Amino acid sequence: MSGTAVLPEGDSAPRPAAVEFSGVTKIYNEGTSRQSIAIENVSFVIPDLADTGEISTFLGPSGCGKSTVLRLVAGLEPQHPPTSGTVRVLGRRVSGPGADRGMVFQDYTSFDNRTVLDNVTFGLECRGVSRRSREAEGREWIARVGLDPRRDAGKYPHELSGGMRQRVAIARTLVLRPRIILMDEPFGALDPATRLDMQDLLIKLWRDVEATVLFITHSVEEAVYLGDRVFVMATTPGRIAAEIRLPTASAPARQTQSEPWFHQRVSELQEQLERIEAAAQRPGGRG
């Protein structure tokens, strides 16, 4: 099966999609008494937009397969490989983790025994970058995520707030310049004000790095604010129930999220989610 190509205006060569799922099913513990279908026949295309990239958000109830989808893109076991169907990234079938993809999780996944700077530069160290260049780049990224290279670079993760630790996690991923950034509820554990600050930070960095972002959240507000595209998922089996296009975030989170059109969009989406769930819970029903 060939990857779906997107033809940008004025460009003669078709670009392969950033991420493409074609009929992807994942069954955990297949053939055992614990067998469960996590996602079934999931297909979607996220185009690789030249010079911008897109943010796709994934919304849906617990257990609908959001993390399964993201980890299949990352090529991480045991989600990878899919039971059937194909997962492609930038036109190539995913065969495992790769430098073109970077992941940020909800849990603060920094190394406790490494300083902020050593955490941020860890991936560069693994790539064999010299100490001098990796520390220069690390300090630059510490500043770009809103931390102070002089004050914070030598701190250990336990000396940081949750928001600061997620800034470190973002710096650690982006310093490696992945084309695809995978974020699994990265702001889920933060207080509401910090969360809005982090949304602004993500939009700012995303404009700089021009990457494609796949972002999982349980917050409808966050999905609508960040998403150029929202995938609404449903359970039993996990699947994509709707794909919605939205305007790109153009104003700060606090401003946009206080506007009437934004509240309208959020309540429409909330109602849609409730309808999808009610349909999934009816015997034999689908959203």
Ligand X SMILES: Nc1ncnc2c1ncn2[C@@H]1O[C@H](COP(=O)(O)OP(=O)(O)OP(=O)(O)O)[C@@H](O)[C@H]1O
Q: Binding residues for Mg ion, per CB under 5 A?
A: 67
252 binding ligand X? (CB under 6 A): no
Which residue, 105 or 206, is less far from ligand X as judged by CB? 105
If DSSP codes are grouped into helix, strand and coil, which group holds residue 33? coil
Contact with ligand X (CB under 6 A) among 28, 108, 156, 262: 28
DSSP state of 47: -
| Residues near 28 by beta carbon (within 8 Å), at least 6 away in sequence | 34, 35, 36, 38, 78
Provide the CA 14 distance to its chain's centre, in angstroms.
25
What is each CA distance from 40 to 24, 25, 61, 101, 240, in whole angstroms? Answer: 6, 4, 16, 24, 9
Q: Which stretch binds ligand X (CB under 6 A): 4-12, 55-63, 94-102, 120-128?
A: 55-63
Instruction: Work out how close the CB of 245 gets to Mg ion at its nearest, in angstroms, rounded to a whole number.
Output: 24
Query: Does 66 sit near ligand X (CB under 6 A)?
Result: yes
Give the closest residue to 200 by CA, choosing from 226, 168, 229, 228: 226
Nearer to ligand X by Cβ, of 34 and 282: the residue is 34
Q: Of 13-21, 56-64, 154-162, 265-273, which segment contacts ligand X by CB under 6 A?
A: 56-64
Residue 142 or residue 220: which is nearer to Mg ion going by CB? 220
Using the contact rule CB under 6 A, the part of the chain among 57-65, 155-163, 243-251, 274-282 near ligand X is 57-65
Amino acid at 224: V
CA distance 284 to 237: 11
Compute the least distance from the CB of residue 67 to ligand X, in Å. 3
Which range of residues in 28-36, 172-180, 223-231, 239-247 is near ligand X by CB under 6 A? 28-36
Q: How many residues belong to the site for ligand X (CB under 6 A)?
A: 14
- From Mg ion, ligand X, none, which one binds at residue 165 (CB under 5 to 8 Å depending on kind)? none
How near is the Cβ of 104 to ligand X at its closest, in Å?
A: 15
Q: DSSP of 15-81, one letter per residue?
A: EEPSEEEEEEEEEETTTSTT-EEEEEEEEEEE---TTT--EEEEE--TTSSHHHHHHHHHT-TTTPS
Q: How far apart are CA 212 and CA 181, in angstroms?
A: 6
Closer Cβ to Mg ion, 105 or 225, answer by number: 105
| Cβ within 8 Å of residue 139, ≥6 positions away | 117, 149, 153
Contact between 215 and 226 (Cβ < 8 Å): yes
Interacting residue with ligand X among 22, 56, 57, 68 (CB under 6 A): 68
Q: Residue 78 binds which entry of Mg ion, ligand X, none, with Cβ cut-offs from 5 to 8 Å by kind?
A: ligand X
Residues 6 or more apart whose Cβ sits within 8 Å of residue 78: 28
- Per CB under 6 A, which of residues 220..239 are in contact with ligand X? 238
3 state SS of 122: helix
Q: What tokens does 235 get?
A: 């359970």
12 interface partner picked from Mg ion, ligand X, none, CB below 5 to 8 A per type = none
Site for ligand X in 131-160 (CB under 6 A): none
Closest separation between CB of residue 29 and ligand X, Å? 6
78 binds ligand X (CB under 6 A): yes
What does the binding site for ligand X look like in residue numbers (CB under 6 A)?
28-29, 36, 38, 60, 62-68, 78, 238
